[in-house]
Amino acid sequence: MDIFGVPIQALMGQLMLGIVNGSFYAVLSLGLAIIFGVLKIVNFAHGAFFMLGAFTAFLLAQHLGANYWTTLLVAPLAVALFGMLFEWLFLRRLYGLDPIYGLLLTFSLVLVLEGGFRVAFGSSGQPFATPEALRGTLNLGFMILPMYRGFVIVAALLVCLVTWFVIERTSLGANLRAATERAELTQAFGINVPRLVTLTYGVGVGLAAFAGVLAAPIFHVNPSMGSSLVIIIFAVVVIGGLGSIMGAIVTGLGLGVVEGFTRVFYSEFSSTIVFLVMVLVLLLRPAGLFGREEG
Amino acid sequence: MQLRSLTWPLLIIGLLALLAVPFFPQLVYSVFIMKTLCFVLFACAFNLLLGHTGILSFGHAAFFGSGAYVTGQLVKAYGVPTELGILAGGLVAALLGAVIGALAIRRSGIYLAMITLAISQLVFFFFLQAPFTGAEDGLQRIPRGTFLGVIDLNNDTALYYVVLGIVGAGLWVVWRTVNSPFGQVMRAIREHEPRAISLGYPVARYKVLVFALSAGLSGIAGSLKAIIFQLAALYDVHWHTSGDVILMTLLGGMNTVFGPAVGAAIVSTLNHYLDPFGAWVTVIIGVVFMTCVLMFRQGVVGELGKLLASRRPPTAPPDTTPHASARADSHH
Amino acid sequence: MPAKIPLRTFALSSMVLAMGAASSAMASNGFSDDVVRIGVLTDMSGIYTDLSGEAAVEAVRMAVEDFGGEVGGVPVEVIYGDHRNRADTGASRAREWYDNDGVDMINDLSNSGVALAVAAVAEERQRHAIVNSSSNIGLTNDYCSPYVTHYTYDAHSLAHGTGKSIVEDGGDTWFFLTVDFAFGIGLEEQVSEVVREAGGQVVGAARHPLDTTDFSSYALQAQASGAEIIGIASTGADAINAINALAEFGVTPGQRPAALLLWYDDIASLGLETAQGLMLTNAFYWDANDETREFSERFYERTGRMPNMAQAGNYSSTIHYLNAVEAAGSDDPDAVSEQMRELEINDFFAKGGYIRPNGRMVHDQYLWEVKAPDESEYDYDFMRLLTTIPGEEAFQPLENSSCHLLEHNQ
């Protein structure tokens, strides 16, 4: 059976690959959505933190001989710490101002990080080996999937669900949500709101770095690997509905699939389709697919 | 008001300096100043929306680039006289601005910005695919032609004065708009939109008009750049250019009329004179921007105004411009 | 200049001209302003910094030093600038260099938009430009000029180098992974032509946007096509990601990827594990013979990297330009242009190379194969030579060029 001249089996394969890509989008947009929800800042450096994660993993493996599983844990933590330092030193001076200043500051950070890495490591990038244990392939019947890609889906979704659970179902998450809605009142209850905010930024940035480490073996590790990603990720968050955690995850996966099919039917348009979707969604459903309609 | 008392002397000195540029080729290169002037007009036009109406557009490259491509193609392929080509670039951009504006203003804030970004990405895709643009090679070898049939624009000095004249006229339009009853309504929309609506202003129509005006002037800036460099390139419609203009505006000061002009000059100058630093240039520019956003949040012109105000003896009247330097602080 | 120019403007411009003339008055020895100035216009801070960048500047400096630092009794000076991969920035810098800074020749010019824009300025200002790291074939066709030289390689040499050799080797069904840019589409068309002429067949193509990170979808499409050869018509990060994905999804037996523009640096960043078996056309490889090794080792000492073909071309073309200046006894652009086309190029980079009237430097091209990790015996030991493609075959036949300088176009 064919759909527009493409065998259904091939489409199943593309669907699968779309889900793999969607997993990256889901982790990245989840981080961006959390940061925007709490800090009200568009973290333009999200792509740069993605790159930072991949590079940190590369450096750990290269110079300290760390194995992949260690880097998958350590690199996001290291990047999260760096992000928290950045928040604590600079970003917090801009709270309460027009969000455009936060955007500008994080954009400047992109220039510094990408420029700095290009000075240090050149522009053409580094090879990064797929971990030994995940080198095989999985026969799914309709396609042969490299095992690592399968692992990406599992790892990404696991991290997304844990993050969602912490925010929506634990007391830490409850405090966070309270701080988002009524910062002063939450502070009055004895909760250290600024620390909570710093932590949030760390988690968001750490998620970006986690996606970066996941990406390192299959995408090319180079200083500009995240630079065209940030506007797509932000579009995903907006389509999902600002402030909706689940929206970011589901939309990330969905857009990965949409993009995947576009690569089959109108490949040239595949990096633009997300923007077409965004215009349509915003005009038809102002608060995004999963957002709550507000005044 | 202190800055205002300095405005005229500063403007006159600036104008004289600009008029003198072609006489000192070893000191400053006139083509560089022409390029800067294009960005000056672009940034000031953009600020009609951001600073004066409170609308953040993240898609202004669509207007700037459309102007460049339309003018380039008309002049190159159809032999349209240069001045008509520039006019057409402005008109097409204005039309595009009206359409995008009409769609975008149905939302506000960050959603509005995202709609403009998204549509500008579609515009980018159009210019990437359209056969006449040459994709990444650019639309090359656009003839400069003559201005009004008499001035040979292949002469850099002649072109310089034409560009200066057109940019000057564009800035005058910006200044007149801001200081007109229309500008009052723009500010009313920025400060308190519901009140403006309840006062009976057709707010939506006003917004679309500002969009069209801002886009049209941005388009003319792009057209001029296409004529000066005889090329139109994809970067002109790329979202990076939309980001650049936001940056220029904020660096200069979005609560002033000509602050963005100063911001544009700063960014151009940084880009132009930092070459000796080689690969470090990106890092340096990043650090400069970071410093500015942390320390001079009102922008260079805004901070200057504040500095002058604080130096005056207390007998001087307090800052009475309702809009200047009020916006960013009002969120505290 | 028409007489219609208003008097005031004319007076102004003639004043400027007078000032310019005073500063660059011909010295008695035939050299303007008593110095030969070379500007290296390159990507110092962006995605192509490894391909040209600071190492390109260093290559030109080396050439000038090896030449003795002066030509015809006047010193040679090297300056550099960053075009940021923007055509207008490049054109602006080139104009300023030619107009104000007395630059006689601009070298490198990565990024085809920049190269085309600077070529236009060079023609208008009648000064030299030598393109080493851009493939745009328009430079020796519609946009040719007596002052523009296209030195190292171009789209035609890539297509005819890789394409033709592979078809002759039996790889006659092709599928293309093409970047949706003028560069990629042009390359795809050229190679398709070669393939068809040689009796091969093009079974399909997928065009991806620039900066695509995930090529898995295209890898599947390429597999499904059943083509023997998967031609990768992109460069830099896109080509690397494409090759990675093809390796990851295990190109089915009997299928082989062929990179149409892969740089030496890209192989380093792919790693031999992934890159092994790739075929690529490069005009230069550091480890080809004693002469290339001698140059490359000196280059390595200065820059910490082995030269790629563009950087080697920067060196060779600078020497050639200086030779021409010396032969002409002047830096007068027309005299130099004549000498550049007159003199033969014989160095580590090219043997019997010559420049055609349309600015094309004709020299042999080489088809290489990337070694497997266990075949690589020392650092940077990446490639082995498969075939030499004579310059006359690699480059566009002169009669097909649409350059206005050629007799058949006049």
Strands C70-71 and A6-7: unpaired
Pairing state between β C36-42 and C103-108: parallel
CATH number at residue B321: 1.10.3470
Residues in A closer than 8 angstroms to C246, CB to CB, are none
Report the distance separating Cα B85 and Cα B91, nearest Å: 10
Taking only the tens place, the pLDDT of each residue in C366-410 is 999 999 999 999 999 999 999 999 999 999 999 999 999 998 888
Q: Round to whole Å and give the CA distance between A233 and A282.
A: 16
Residues C99-124 have a mean pLDDT of 95
Residue C302: CB atoms within 10 A of its CB come to 13
Per-residue pLDDT at B202: 95
Q: 3-state class of A138 per DSSP? A: strand
Minimal C-alpha gap between C168 and chain A (Å): 31
For chain A, positions 240-269, list CB contacts with chain B under 8 A.
242, 268-269
Option in A100, A111, A238 nearest B111 (CB): A238
The sign of the torsion formed by the CA atoms of C141, B127, B229, B145 equals: positive
pLDDT at A189: 86
Residues B94-146: tens digit of each pLDDT: 999 999 999 999 998 889 999 999 999 999 999 999 999 999 999 999 999 99
The residue behind tokens 């999200």 is: A46
Q: Which residues of B touch C6 (CB under 8 A)?
A: 150-151
3-state SS string for chain C: CCCCCCHHHHHHHHHHHHHHHHHCCECCCCCECCCEEEEEEECCCCCCCCCCHHHHHHHHHHHHHHHCCEECCEEEEEEEEECCCCHHHHHHHHHHHHHCCCEEEEEECCCHHHHHHHHHHHHHHCCEEEECCCCCHHHHCCCCCCCEEECCCCHHHHHHHHHHHHHHCCCCEEEEEEECCHHHHHHHHHHHHHHHHCCCEEEEEEEECCCCCCCHHHHHHHHHHCCCEEEEECCHHHHHHHHHHHHHCCCCCCCEEEECCCCHHHHHHHCHHHHCCCEEEECCCCCCCHHHHHHHHHHHHHHCCCCCHHHHHHHHHHHHHHHHHHHHCCCCHHHHHHHHHHCCECCCCCCCEEECCCCEEECCEEEEEECCHHHCCCCCCCEEEEEEECHHHHCCCHHHCCCCCCHHHC
Give the gyration radius of chain C's Cα atoms.
22
How many residues would you count in chain B?
332
Cβ(A158)–Cβ(A23) below 8 Å: no
User: A173 CA to chain C: closest CA distance, Å?
Assistant: 34
pLDDT in tens, A17-38: 999 999 999 999 999 999 998 8
ipTM over 0.85: yes
> Is-contact B110 A287, C-beta < 8 A?
no
* Alpha-helix runs per DSSP H in chain A: 8-39, 46-64, 68-89, 99-121, 147-169, 171-181, 183-188, 193-215, 229-240, 245-265, 273-284
Length of chain A: 295
B8 touches chain C (CB under 8 A): no
Number of residues that make up chain C: 410
In this predicted structure, what is the pLDDT of residue A223? 94
In whole angstroms, how far apart are CA B59 and each of A270, A284, B302?
Answer: 20, 20, 25
Cα separation, A28 vs A215, in Å, equals 11
Q: CA C208, CA C238: separation in Å to the nearest integer?
A: 9
Going by pLDDT thresholds of 50, 70 and 90, the confidence category of residue A6 is confident
The residue type of C73 is: G
Instruction: Provide φ and ψ at A277, rounded to 5°.
Output: -60, -40
- Lowest mean pLDDT across A123-132, B245-254, C60-69: A123-132
- C156-282+365-394 CATH: 3.40.50.2300
In a domain, B332, yes or no: no
Retrieve residue C314's tokens: 């920067």
| Cβ-Cβ contacts under 8 Å for A20 (sequence gap 6 or more) | A149, A152, A153, A256, C214, C216
Judged by CB atoms closer than 8 Å, whether chains meet at A119 and B283 is answered as yes
Query: Per-residue pLDDT for C307 more than 70?
Result: yes
Q: pLDDT value at position A242? A: 86
Token pair 């204005």 is found at B94
Instruction: Summarize pLDDT for C208-258 with one digit per residue, the tens.
Output: 999 899 999 999 999 989 999 999 999 989 999 999 999 888 766 778 899
Task: Spell out the domain ranges in chain A.
Answer: 21-226
Which tens digit of pLDDT belongs to each residue from A250-268?
Answer: 999 999 999 999 999 999 9
Average pLDDT over residues B167-194: 96
Q: Does A286 touch chain B (CB under 8 A)?
A: yes
A102-132 burial, b at 16+ Cβ within 10 Å, e below that, comes to bbbbbbbbbbbbbbbbbbebbbbbbbbebbe
Q: Is a pLDDT exceeding 70 seen at residue B17? A: yes
Phi, psi at C306, each rounded to 5°? -80, 145
Cβ–Cβ below 8 Å for B137 and C112: yes
In DSSP terms, which residues pair with C361 in a beta bridge? C355
Give A67→chain B minimum CA distance, Å: 31
Q: Which of B35, B150, B157 sits opposite C4 (nearest CB)?
A: B150
CB contact under 8 A, C214 and A21: yes
Q: Is residue B56 part of a domain?
A: yes
**How high is the pLDDT of residue A95?**
87
Under DSSP, the state recorded for A3 is E
**Phi then psi dihedrals of residue C9, to 5 deg:** -60, -40
Residues C82, B275: C-beta atoms closer than 8 Å: yes
- With an 8 Å Cβ cutoff, are A123 and C207 in contact? no
pLDDT confidence bin for B165, thresholds 50/70/90: very high
Contact C358, C144 (CB under 8 A): yes
Instruction: Name subunits touching B (3+ CB pairs < 8 A).
Output: A, C
pLDDT of residue B331 exceeding 50, the answer is: no
Reading the block at residue A259, the tokens are: 């993009």
**pLDDT(A147) > 80:** yes
Q: Into how many domains does chain B fold?
A: 1
With a CB cutoff of 8 Å and minimum separation 6, the contacts of C223 are C249, C251, C252, C255
Answer whether C213 sits within 8 Å of A115, measured CB to CB: no
Rounded Cα distance between B254 and A86, Å, is 26
From the centroid of its chain, how far is CA B29?
A: 21
The contacts of residue C218 (CB under 8 Å, 6+ apart) are: A263, A267, C177, C206, C208, C242, C245
Cβ of B204 under 8 Å from any chain C Cβ? no
Nearest CA in chain B to C120: B141
**DSSP label at residue A269:** G
- What is the rounded average pLDDT of the residues B22-43? 94
Would you identify the CATH topology of the domain C29-153+291-360?
Rossmann fold (3.40.50)
Q: For position C375, what pLDDT does the model report? A: 96
Compare all CA atoms of chain A with the CA of B329 and give the residue at the minimum distance: A97
What per-residue confidence (pLDDT) applies to C24? 42
Any idea which of A2-6, A141-145, C76-80 has the lowest mean pLDDT? A2-6
CB of B7 closer than 8 Å to CB of B256: no
Q: Do A252 and A30 contact (CB within 8 A), yes or no?
A: yes
Residue A154's CB is within 10 A of a number of other CB atoms, namely: 10
Q: Which residue from C82, C84, C117 is facing B140, i.e. has the nearest CB? A: C117
How many Cβ atoms from other residues are within 10 Å of residue B161's Cβ? Answer: 21
Supply B76's token pair.
Answer: 């190159």
**Residue numbers in B near C183 (CB within 8 A):** 135-137
Give mean pLDDT, residues B216-232: 98
d(CA A131, CA C380): 25
Which residue type does B19 have?
L
Task: Mark yes or no for CB contact B106/A283 under 8 Å.
Answer: yes
**Nearest Cα residue to C284 out of C275, C271, C276, C293:** C293
pLDDT higher than threshold 80 for residue A144? yes
Instruction: Say how far apart CA A239 and CA A257 lie, in whole Å.
Output: 15
- Are C182 and B135 inside 8 Å of each other by CB? yes
Which chain C residues touch A if contact means CB-CB below 8 Å? 45-51, 53, 180, 206-209, 211-214, 216-218, 220-221, 224, 236-237, 240-241, 244-245, 248-250, 263, 265-266, 268-271, 273-274
pLDDT at B6 over 80: no
Q: What's B135's DSSP letter?
A: G
Residue B320 has pLDDT above 60, yes or no: no
Least Cα distance to C320 among C184, C192, C150, C188 occurs for C150
B274 touches chain A (CB under 8 A): no
- DSSP class of B253: -
